[in-house]
Structure 1
Amino acid sequence: MRFSSVVSAVFGLCIGTTLSSAEQSNLTTPQSTQRILAGDFKPAPVFENTNLVRTINLEKGYVRETTNVLVTNIDKSPQSEYYIPFDSDLVGKIGGFDARDKKQAARGQLEVSIAALADVLDAQTPSSKSIHYYIIHLTEPLQPKDAVTLSISYHIQGALKPLPVSIKQDEKQYLTYNFSAYVPTVYPTIKQKTKVKFPSADVPKYTTTTGLTSASDPEKQGSSLTYGPYDTPKIPPGTVYPVAVRYEFNKPLLTCSLLERDVEVSHWGGNLATEERYWLHHDGAKLANHFSRVAYSTQNYYINAGQMTTSALRELKVPLKPGSVDAYFTDEIGNVSTSRFRPNSIREASLELKPRYPLFGGWNYTFRIGWNNDLSSSLRKLQTPPDTYILSVPLIEGPKNLEGIQYEKLVFRVILPEGATNVKYQTHGGTGVPSLHAEHSLHKTFMDTLGRTELKLTTTNVVDEARDVTILVTYQYSFLAGLRKPFTVFAGVAVVFVVAFLVGRVDTSIGKRKK
């Protein structure tokens, strides 16, 4: 996204009296907040799912579920809270939760909160069957007999398992996923169906239902399965029908247990320095035998010719903004010379990474990458209030592969110049924006006095789709604060000269001792 379009989108929030009023509180409101419910709480059956269509996308290394549901208020009073249940063993794997009113999509995401039962929070070892709720808050209360169409999407991490768990080096990798043919819900559902999308048509095993429909179920078309449609007005809410699918996924199943991403702003140097540190793990099928470099070299010939695929990670491609320079790729040993950087000042630059060794199932790889950009492409100065700047940076950049990457934890640090004050942030664009925990601190580096201002954002359960999310940081940086660094450098050099002069004045010669 071009910086000008981002700034214009946020100008209404940041200019004039609007920004002045926002200075008293952070610009970002967390997407999800925790609520505690009574131990015997059950959502009232005030809604009816008149028609529900769920799509489960298994084309990447994580699960993406999207549900479009026509919701009707069957109560006698207006209702504004729609509950979605999740088992407690699943809720910790969910990220990127996004809910919208399809007829009012321009208004953006609906407010979402998370609720848990009090006895679940108090228990030291909660049962795997205990329930948490995502609560969607409608913009306006839904009147009796009125309907609204909700579009709900989220991703699930760590839900895909290899089967078999061990394979030979030249064998295909297959994954399994378990779900319910009936969508878990607390409301009666009149009609529903589920469509499952696979990366290929190679789906050797899947559950077939009996008695749910008059026709064969599921219906297979190319690389997708369709369960239903089912007429379920008499099926009690919460009823499940277990379904399992096994499909080919001969690609890396990548999980980054921790991504540390630092963005450092230098006004004097006019530079935006970015560094990312990855702790990467391949969650796919492990090797049944020892790794053979000879066999892998033979495989590479057919892979490069497009006649074969492999579940091993061979390379990562990192798209960078136009004008990116000074890219580097290092690991625990040192510089990795197998990388290739393609700079471009007009189009997207590219950093191609080849690890020191191919990454197979169960293997780990830790590395870091970094690059520089011209600060003017990401920073603008606002007219009011005075000495106020706005910085636009993506939440995630990094590798962009077809199989995707899931991040268990993301630590994003924005390091501002020394003396920057009144730091605020907000998110812009993207879907399923993760809930961010913000901390403010000082980051001490060379020739600093008090330390640079640091904004630290932490979140969990993020996938590479979050690269569409932009972080907008506003801060004040006065002219006098900008003189702090050159004055510190001048004072340091002056002290060195004075000390050298005084040391030079000391008489260290050996003379005769007076009697």
Structure 2
Amino acid sequence: MKPLSLATALISLLPPSVLARWTTSQSKATLPAHFKPAQVFSNANLNHIISLEKNYAKEQINVLVENVSNEPQDEYFIPFTSHQLARLGGFQVNDRKDATAGPFVSEVVEFDAHSPLQYYRIRLPAPLKPGGQQTLGISYYFLKAYTPLPASISQDEEQFLVYPFSVYASSAYPTMKQKTEVKMATSSKVADYTLITTEENEETFPQKQGSKLVYGPFGAKPVGASLPAQVRFEFTKPLTHISSLERDIQVSHWGGNVAFEERYTLYNRGANLSVPFNRVKWAQAQYFKTNSMALKEMRFPLQVGSVDAYFTDVIGNVSTSRFRSNLREASLELKPRYPVFGGWKYPFTIGWNSDSANLLRRASTGSYVLRVPFIEGPKQPEGIEYEQVHVRVLLPEGAHNVKIWTDIPETSIVETSVDRSLLYLDTVGRTMVEVKARNIVDEQRDRELILTYETLLVDTLRKPLVVFASAMAVFVAAWLVGMVEIGIATKS
């Protein structure tokens, strides 16, 4: 876990009267125009692994870098195209030989807004001396990674996807030796893929090992070397894409409750239907339990102790849901009002309550610590991708000295802010914490959002006193009105 930014810690020292609103945004480091990374590193050995097992593409680069300059170096750059950068998420870098070292600091750098090439800058934990070597594990994933081919199919036809990639890993430095592996799900049929023949020994790649394709190893390649390729494979599951998730969390000290509500805008990015949907054919297919590219059900694992779950859409309550909660688990299973085929959209809302004792505790310093998952979306075998995530946490009135931590990759955080929001019977307004993120996947559903805050005794008693004073004011006003004589006097 790490603070989102130094500004968060500094602002938290301000008194409540000053804490009206503060915002931090992910900023890009600006470099000189026409920037090119200095050739101070060499990739001695690089292994590029592309995983296409879920409905987003996950890539891992394990590289042994060597400092070939005469001075210590601590900045390593990785290039991406502008098109890739818009869909890239979860960028993290670790030391492959030291799992306890934690993720390295990485950030997007901007040198020319119109350049087709942009860079991520990785800061090594310590400068690498001349001739020294460092093993980096670089992981990230791409949303909207696949293109259905054919683009339209019938509702009982097999779906095939195409993924384009480069056989040579994109690098800002020369690479001495490298290999690329492309992995599909074990049950997937690989329809076709790009064949290449090396010029050195006229060897043909890839080597097909079950559902895995291996390109290489290759010899020395210069900076920016690229060899376009693609693979077309079967994917008999929906391409579930959530363009927007709004997650509201409301904390109540008096009620001992934490209320959750999530609003989803969901799309299936799979192949479109080539003919109109046939409900009879769909009902018949359910008896055979065949795989389908349509999304027909979702399962939401919730926090233990969750109660009062509900499921609605734009029409109203949806009855095709099942909620189970016991001492060991809580789960919400739901079926959309209709099967969501490729190109279809389904917006919906779910919500539930949780006992605050499971999520909120009082620290020895007197402050409160709220620990909740950053996202609690559906858990599907094919995976889920989130384009935009907006988390709002409503704390009790008067909450101040707010601090925020999360183990979501910092490169995915777009903005954090603290503001005020007026709700029922509020006087000064509740403290509202907002965190906006982009390009998140379901692998991060176990990541946490932790808030610490303080409240004063007067803040705790404010609402009951306001309710009491309001009721007394109504009674006094009614008594005063009753004392006024509004009758018509008669002459004696």
TM-score between both structures, scaled by the size of structure 2 = 0.93
Offset of 1:422 from its aligned partner? 1.3
One of 212, 227, 232 as aligned partner of 1:224: 212
1:410 partnered with 2:389 = yes
Going from structure 1 to structure 2, the CA distance change for 1:74 and 1:478 (only over 3 Å counts) comes to same
Shift of 1:431: 6.0
Q: Which moved more, 1:487-496 or 1:442-451?
A: 487-496
Q: Give secondary structure in 2 for the equivalent of 1:269.
A: coil
Whether the 8 Å CA contact 1:32–1:114 is kept in 2: the answer is: no
Query: In the alignment, residue 113 of structure 1 is paired with which amino acid?
Result: E
The answer to whether structure 1 residue 171 and structure 2 residue 153 are counterparts is: no
Q: What are the superposed Cα offsets for residues 52-102 of structure 1, whole Å, 9 maximum, x if unpaired?
A: 011111111111101100111111111111110011121111111000112
- The yes-or-no answer on 1:349 pairing with 2:352 is no
Instruction: Report if the CA contact (8 A) 2:58-2:142 is conserved.
Output: yes
Aligned to 1:476: 454
Q: Structure 1, residues 451-497: CA drift from partner, whole Å, max 9, x if none?
A: 11100111111111221221110111112210011111112222222
Separation in 1 of the partners of 2:208 and 2:423?
60
Residues 31 and 508 (structure 1 numbering): CA distance in 2 closer, same or farther, change over 3 Å?
Answer: closer
Moved more, 172-181 or 209-218: 209-218
Measured in 2, the distance between the counterparts of 1:138 and 1:295 equals 58
Q: For residues 22 and 109 of structure 1, what CA distance do their matches in structure 2 show?
A: 25
**Equivalent residue in structure 1 for 2:146, among 155, 160, 165:** 160
What secondary structure sits across from 2:205 in the alignment? Answer: coil
Query: 1:290 offset after TM fit, Å?
Result: 0.5
- Paired residues of 1:54 and 1:67 also in contact (CA < 8 A): yes
- Residue 88 of structure 2 aligns with which residue? 94
Residue in 2 that maps onto 1:302: 288
**Residue 450 of structure 1 pairs with residue 428 of structure 2:** yes
Q: Could you list the runs of 5+ residues in structure 2 that have no partner in the other structure?
A: none
Kindly report the root-mean-square deviation, in angstroms, between the aligned alpha carbons of the 2 structures: 2.3
Name 1:370's counterpart in structure 2: 351
Residues 1:421 and 2:409 aligned together: no
User: Could you tell me how far 1:267 is from its partner in structure 2?
Assistant: 0.5
Q: d(CA) in 1 for partners of 2:275 and 2:483?
A: 74
Q: Tell me the distance in 2 between the aligned counterparts of 1:66 and 1:257.
A: 25
Return the alpha-carbon distance in structure 1 between the equivalents of residues 370 and 31 of structure 2: 40
Q: Supply the AA of the counterpart residue of 1:344.
A: N
Aligned pairs, number: 479
Q: Does residue 149 of structure 1 match 2:128?
A: no
CA contact (8 A) 1:261 1:412 kept: yes
CA contact (8 A) 1:61 1:254 kept: yes
- Alignment equivalent of 1:211, drawn from 168, 173, 198: 198
CA distance in 2, matches of 1:403, 1:94: 19
- The yes-or-no answer on 1:67 pairing with 2:61 is yes
**1:460 is the counterpart of 2:454:** no
Aligned partners of 1:194 and 1:101: how far apart in 2?
20
Change (3 A) 1:405 1:300: same
TM-superposed deviation, 1:185:
0.5
Instruction: Assess, with a 3 A threshold, how the Cα gap between structure 1 residues 39 and 497 changes in structure 2: closer, same or farther.
Output: same
> Which residue of structure 1 lines up, in the alignment, with residue 295 of structure 2?
313
Q: Aligned partners of 1:93, 1:472: CA distance in 2, in Å?
A: 27
Q: Secondary structure at the residue paired with 2:397? A: coil
> Is the CA contact 1:99–1:150 (under 8 Å) kept in the aligned structure 2?
yes
Q: What's 1:4 paired with? A: none
CA spacing shift, 1:433–1:85, aligned 2, 3 Å? closer
Q: Is the 1:433–1:466 Cα contact (8 Å) retained in structure 2?
A: no
* Displacement after TM superposition at 1:38 (Å): 2.0
Equivalent position of 1:243 in the other structure: 229
Q: Which amino acid aligns with 1:202?
A: K
Q: Which residue of 1 aligns with 2:378?
A: 399
Letter matched to residue 372 of structure 1? N
Which residues of 2 match residues 261-280 of structure 1 at below 5 A? Answer: 261-280=247-266
CA distance in structure 2 between the partners assigned to 1:20 and 1:198 by the alignment: 44
Task: Please say if residues 433 and 469 of structure 1, whose CA atoms lie closer than 8 Å, have aligned partners that are also in contact.
Answer: no
- TM-score with structure 1 setting the length: 0.89
- Identify the residue that residue 79 of structure 2 maps to in structure 1: 85
SS at 2:173 equivalent? coil
1:327 alignment partner in structure 2 = 309
Q: Which amino acid aligns with 1:219?
A: Q
Relative to its length, the structure with more strand (as a share) is: 2
Partner of 1:137: 123
The 3-state SS of whatever aligns with 2:135 is strand
Which deviates more from structure 2 when the two are superposed, residues 197-206 or residues 430-439? 430-439
The separation in 2 between residues aligned to 1:288 and 1:102, in whole angstroms, is: 47
Asked if the contact 1:31–1:113 (Cα under 8 Å) also holds between the matched residues in 2, the reply is no
Amino acid paired to 1:337: S
Indicate which of 464, 468, 475 corresponds to 1:497. 475
Structure 1 counterpart of 2:189, which letter? D
Contact 2:26 2:414 in 1 (8 A): no
Give the superposition deviation at 1:23: 4.4
Query: Which residue of structure 2 aligns with residue 5 of structure 1?
Result: none
CA contact (8 A) 2:107 2:411 kept: no
Cα deviation 1:289-331 (Å, max 9, x = unaligned): 101110100111112xxxx200000011000111110111011
Report if aligned partners of 2:25, 2:416 keep a CA contact under 8 Å in 1.
Answer: no
Change (3 A) 1:268 1:433: farther
CA distance in 2, matches of 1:34, 1:205: 40
Task: State the 1:432 CA deviation.
Answer: 6.9
Q: Report the Cα distance in structure 1 between the residues aligned to 2:59 and 2:9, rounded to whole angstroms.
A: 40
Which whole-Å CA distance do the structure 2 matches of 1:165 and 1:174 have between them?
Answer: 9
Cα distance in 2 for residues equivalent to 1:504 and 1:362: 66
Contact 1:431 1:469 in 2 (8 A): no
Alpha-carbon spacing, 1:295–1:506, altered in 2? closer, same or farther (3 Å): farther
Show the counterpart of 2:70.
76
Tell me how far apart the structure 2 counterparts of residues 32 and 219 of structure 1 sit (CA, whole Å).
42
2:369 matched to which residue of 1?
390
Matched, 1:285 2:271: yes
Deviation at 1:20, TM superposition (A): 9.3
- Structure 1 residue 57 and structure 2 residue 38: aligned? no
Q: Distance in 2 between matches of 1:369 and 1:318?
A: 10
The code of the aligned residue for 1:76 comes to N
- Which letter maps to 2:197? T
